[in-house]
Amino acid sequence: MRKFNIELKDKKIPVLLGEGIFGKITSEIEKRKLNRNILLITDSNVNRLYRKKVENAFSSFKGKFNLLTLRPGENTKSQENLNKIYSFLLKKKYSRDTLIIALGGGVIGDLAGFAAATFMRGVKYIQVPTTLLAVSDSAIGGKTGINFNGIKNIIGAFYQPEFVLADLEFIKTLPDKEVLCGTGEILKYAYLSDRAFYRFIEDNAEKLLKKDPAVVEKAAAKSVSIKTSIVSEDEKEGGKRKILNLGHTFAHAYESVLEYKIKHGEAVIAGLACALILSRRLGCMNEEKFMALSGMLKKFHPGIKFNKLKLNVLFKAMLSDKKNRDGKIRFVLLEDVGKVLTDVEAGRKDVLLTLKEAGEFFSR
Ligand code: ADP
Ligand code: ZN
């Protein structure tokens, strides 16, 4: 088992990563004196696959233990489900000494984390990510929230878990499409990191998509190590954490225009291509570098029908992104692997041409 830490001013949040470590959850809880009344929140897919495992792990747990199973999918991140969690907690007489466990992908992590942040002004919680995307990215960093009025993550809070326990054994049952989504964020970390990791991902793209355990382990561990160190420097996205938005301004536009019928990770893959294209267009990166760094993305084709997209509609969606309040669009761009530029403004023409080129990029 590997251990990474998010080092905050007043708190250290361990991220435990390994294969077959879920059984250690109760001892980790005890070790940290978190013995409380537990509510474990999951979705029905994870429940179907892992209910036995959960029951075994908590069989000798003393104290209240309940399991709340929600429907899978992005729509679950709603006010209704948040109310369902609060109602359940009150009905079962949970109080301030509650420990919420989020067992699932990003959807469950964000929703259960926000419930923990708000129930009785905040109760303790643990993230147990079960998707590649959640392990490598979303379970780490304390972003919690729900969607509202069709806008993703518009209501939320920064609220850190007591620890993150990432058991890579869960990844073995993950459907191919979800693996592809997870690689979206891993590719982002490859661009943000260093040549060696970038080369590793480039060389092992097929193995990663096939869930080769050694490749998944290395890819997840490096992503976790980068994310924990960035969040340690900048917990609430005032500075350094901005680089984690590489590809995301474009990704959010694809997601919103396609009404969230594509998954975040797929949108990130398309968004990364856009970020590289715009970097070249604005002269941050030359043609040769662009060719060297963009080829890898074609191995991870996102399921987007680019020719059906209206470019000006995408552009409008980017203007209304919650990070672009003053009508200007700022991008995170790349000069090279590990050389990141933040707050680069680009005009309408360059953005539209970038979106056009991105469509062609994936159809070539
Ligand atoms: P993300 O982590 O990408 O935000 P979700 O929380 O929406 O994703 O989970 C993606 C899908 O994968 C959901 O349908 C969920 O039920 C399912 N899922 C989560 N973890 C596993 C797993 N370990 N094995 C199989 N399916 C899983
Ligand atoms: Zn993301």
Closest approach atom of ligand 1 to CA 263: 3
Closest approach atom of ligand 1 to CA 76: 7
Angstrom distance (rounded) from CA 64 to CA 17: 27
Instruction: Tell whether 180 and 117 lie within a shared domain.
Output: no
What residue numbers bound the domain in which 293 lies? 176-361
Marked catalytic residue, from 143, 152, 222, 263? 143
The reply to whether 185 belongs to the active site is: yes
Provide the whole-model pTM.
0.95
Domain C-terminal end among 149, 173, 197: 173
Domain C-terminal end among 173, 190, 215: 173
Is the separation of the CB atoms in 99 and 34 below 8 Å?
yes
**CATH at residue 209:** 1.20.1090.10
> What's residue 300's pLDDT?
92
Is the separation of the CB atoms in 333 and 242 below 8 Å?
no
Instruction: Tell whether 269 and 193 lie within a shared domain.
Output: yes
Tally the domains of the chain. 2
Which of 176, 178, 211 for a ligand 1 pocket mutation test, highest count of atoms within 8 Å of Cβ?
178
| CB atoms near residue 213 (< 10 Å) | 13
**In this structure, are strands 330-336 and 339-345 parallel, antiparallel, or unpaired?**
antiparallel
pLDDT, one tens digit per residue, over 220-256 is: 999 999 999 999 999 998 888 999 999 999 999 999 9
Low-confidence stretches of the chain (pLDDT beneath 70): 322-327
**CATH at residue 70:** 3.40.50.1970
Phi-psi region of 37 (alpha: psi -120 to 50; beta: other; left: phi over 0): beta
Instruction: Tell whether 158 and 185 lie within a shared domain.
Output: no
pLDDT, one tens digit per residue, over 136-195 is: 999 999 999 999 998 899 999 999 999 999 999 999 999 999 999 999 999 999 999 999
Closest CA to 340 of 135, 186, 190: 190
The reply to whether 81 belongs to the active site is: no
Instruction: Tell whether 20 and 165 lie within a shared domain.
Output: yes
Angstrom distance (rounded) from CA 231 to CA 235: 5
